[in-house]
Structure 1
Amino acid sequence: MQAGRFRHFAAVDWSGAAGERQAGIAVALCGPEGDAPRLIRAGHRWSRADVLAWLVDALPEDTLVGLDLGISLPFADSGAFFPAWDASPPDARTLWAMIDTICATDPHLGATAFVDHPEASRYFRRHGGREGERFGANGQPGGRGRFRVTEHAQQLVGCKPYSNFNLVGAAQVGKSSLTGMRVLHRLGGTLPVWPIDPLPATGSAIVEIYTSLAAIEAGRSSGRTKMRTRADLNAALAAFDSPPFHARVPLSDHTTDALLTATWLRRAATREELWAPNALTDKIARTEGWTFGAI
């Protein structure tokens, strides 16, 4: 493992909301030498297509990119993403392709067509009290929904994950995850996605991140992971031995999430144990993926 070889560290706070340009998307980058993180295109209202183009055309060499979304859906709990659906994909990359194909006419890399699909909708909790009969654990309705193995690991370090099959509520990540999977499919393998792909010996790579993990490691409580002031951000950055963020730009919880997590990635990438979680098997890697930092 040569996890310490990366020269740049990027974090993308993502959004699955409807529409082209999203206030909830922010991109931050830092180098390896202890410099303060910076925002990419500060003040720009990003679209999902913009982020895809940046990853393809403008990403610095040897960058570890963290995407704040779920890179797959639960599989291990039921032996399938969609048990009882004969078209259920066998692995994450096939899942991405399926979602992108079904959503081909959705604008702005949206995923409405997939969650409204007559078969797929049986597994999601949607707005308006629409809950598929197979949303819950063991193929039953109700409850918090199904979770990946990595989300159980997130809970052990104090995070409060939501099921990627849940599309309701301010903290849900289902829409972000599904739209993100369309982006991952469109990258076409040009950027490896760990652990679905092996970590390459050279070049850039993508990992799934959960920004709350970075905030908790910086000393924030699990109920106070969001930062909206420069003072809170700089106190958290100091926990990772980073200089303060001085750029005079408006801050939101999305930009602070990206700035702190890019800085956390710089330190976390050198920790060999984070690349080898105890519960991560080859099959889980191919199907569910993993959240970097959850062990």
Structure 2
Amino acid sequence: MIPTHFTRFAAIDWSGAKGARHPGIALALCETGAAAPTLVSPPRGVWSRADILHWLRDQAETPLLVGFDFSFAPPYVERGAYLPGEAAPTTARAFWGYVDAHAPDADLGAASFLESRRGTHFYLGAADGTKADFLHFRRCEAHHNAAGFGKPSTVYDAIGAAQVAKASFAGMRLLHHLAPAIPVWPIDPAPHTGACVVEIYTTIAARAAGVRKGRSKLRDAAALDTALATLGSRAHTPLARYTDHATDAILTAAWLRANAARTDFWHPSALTPQIARTEGWTFGIT
């Protein structure tokens, strides 16, 4: 069985940056049909992570499928632990609470969690040792890579523009505070009423929309409309600024709407109960 009740679809381009307001966060929303997703205006000019948390809580009883572009948990299966040698929990949901309890950063940030463990669990620069020693991956990432879709990122690599570590650990804090309002698939079973949160990878949406490898970012109106049309969406309302964050959110919300009823996305062949409760899975990796 798969959930079939969703009529609203949102994608959130996330940020793990320090501070309390984050231009890197964008939220796009659409409903059943062909109208293009639109950006949701933040309540105070620029989104905070706490604002996103409050917005989600307000949507809990609505038929909303919402995707976040961060890793919902670190790798566990590969080494039998999230942080080998540290007395951390052994399930994703318990680990979210552990991160939250050990990260006093403002606005659900988690940079201090990584910085206090640099060289032990996280790579933040050459002083931490050999980078290759930190490259551990979840099963969904390994599965995606084996299928020829490119080299994945790991949440243990916290340096560089492409790193996903800071955003992911900040996201884990949000997921901890979101409970029990909205289930998080596949850590929780997919619901048949109300909202649901899934992990997304914006590059999957870009490829499905015909955006060539190496050109995943859309920075103008024409390119965005061409990609949206491939996903069955009408043209978007022009934006004041075409940032990667805004276009990623808009395109991925349209992709989520177009693919929300795919059985293979809700039942990936390689997803096991152990993987579901420890690492989660990216919606769209089959």
**TM-score of Structure 1 vs Structure 2, range by shorter chain:** over 0.9
Residue of structure 2 in register with 1:129 after alignment: 126
Residue of structure 1 in register with 2:132 after alignment: 142
Shift of 1:160: 3.6
* Counterparts in 2 of 1:192 and 1:59: CA distance versus 1, 3 Å: closer
For the 8 Å contact 1:8–1:60, the answer to whether it is kept is no
* Counterparts in 2 of 1:55 and 1:275: CA distance versus 1, 3 Å: same
Residue of structure 1 in register with 2:31 after alignment: 31
Which amino acid letter does the alignment assign opposite residue 123 of structure 2?
A: R
Post-superposition Cα deviations, 1:64-117, rounded to whole Å, max 9, x if no partner, equal 0000100000011111112222x12110011100000011x2112111231133
Residue of structure 1 in register with 2:194 after alignment: 203
Q: Compare 223-232 and 147-156 and name the one that shifted more.
A: 147-156
Confirm whether residue 260 of structure 1 aligns to residue 268 of structure 2: no
Aligned length, in residue pairs: 284
Shift of 1:130: 3.9
Confirm whether residue 166 of structure 1 aligns to residue 157 of structure 2: yes
* Counterparts in 2 of 1:72 and 1:167: CA distance versus 1, 3 Å: same
For the 8 Å contact 1:114–1:121, the answer to whether it is kept is no
For the 8 Å contact 2:38–2:237, the answer to whether it is kept is no
Which amino acid letter does the alignment assign opposite residue 66 of structure 1?
A: G
For the 8 Å contact 1:158–1:222, the answer to whether it is kept is no
For the 8 Å contact 2:12–2:25, the answer to whether it is kept is yes
For the 8 Å contact 1:52–1:183, the answer to whether it is kept is yes
- Distance in 1 separating the partners of 2:208 and 2:238: 24
Shift of 1:38: 0.6
* Counterparts in 2 of 1:100 and 1:240: CA distance versus 1, 3 Å: same
Shift of 1:228: 0.8
Residue of structure 1 in register with 2:108 after alignment: 109
- Distance in 1 separating the partners of 2:61 and 2:40: 12
After TM superposition, the structure 1 = structure 2 runs for residues 1-295 of structure 1, keeping only pairs within 5 Å, are 1-41=1-41, 44-58=45-59, 61-85=62-86, 87-103=87-103, 105-118=104-117, 122-126=120-124, 128-131=125-128, 142=132, 145-155=135-145, 156=147, 158-295=149-286
Which amino acid letter does the alignment assign opposite residue 6 of structure 1?
A: F
Post-superposition Cα deviations, 1:120-146, rounded to whole Å, max 9, x if no partner, equal 7511011x4342x6xx8xxxx635610
The secondary structure found in structure 2 opposite 1:186 is helix
- Distance in 2 separating the partners of 1:216 and 1:159: 12
Return 5+ residue gaps in structure 2 as ranges.
none
- Distance in 1 separating the partners of 2:212 and 2:201: 15
For the 8 Å contact 2:105–2:111, the answer to whether it is kept is yes
Post-superposition Cα deviations, 1:138-165, rounded to whole Å, max 9, x if no partner, equal xxx6356101011123322524421111
- Distance in 1 separating the partners of 2:36 and 2:282: 24
* Counterparts in 2 of 1:159 and 1:64: CA distance versus 1, 3 Å: farther
Return 5+ residue gaps in structure 1 as ranges.
none
Shift of 1:2: 3.4
Post-superposition Cα deviations, 1:161-201, rounded to whole Å, max 9, x if no partner, equal 21111110101101000000000000122110000000012
- Distance in 2 separating the partners of 1:247 and 1:146: 41
Tell me the TM-score normalised to structure 1 length: 0.91
- Distance in 1 separating the partners of 2:133 and 2:83: 17
The secondary structure found in structure 2 opposite 1:23 is coil
Shift of 1:221: 1.8
- Distance in 2 separating the partners of 1:269 and 1:55: 19
For the 8 Å contact 1:115–1:121, the answer to whether it is kept is no
Tell me the TM-score normalised to structure 2 length: 0.94
* Counterparts in 2 of 1:265 and 1:57: CA distance versus 1, 3 Å: same
Shift of 1:226: 0.7
- Distance in 2 separating the partners of 1:44 and 1:158: 37
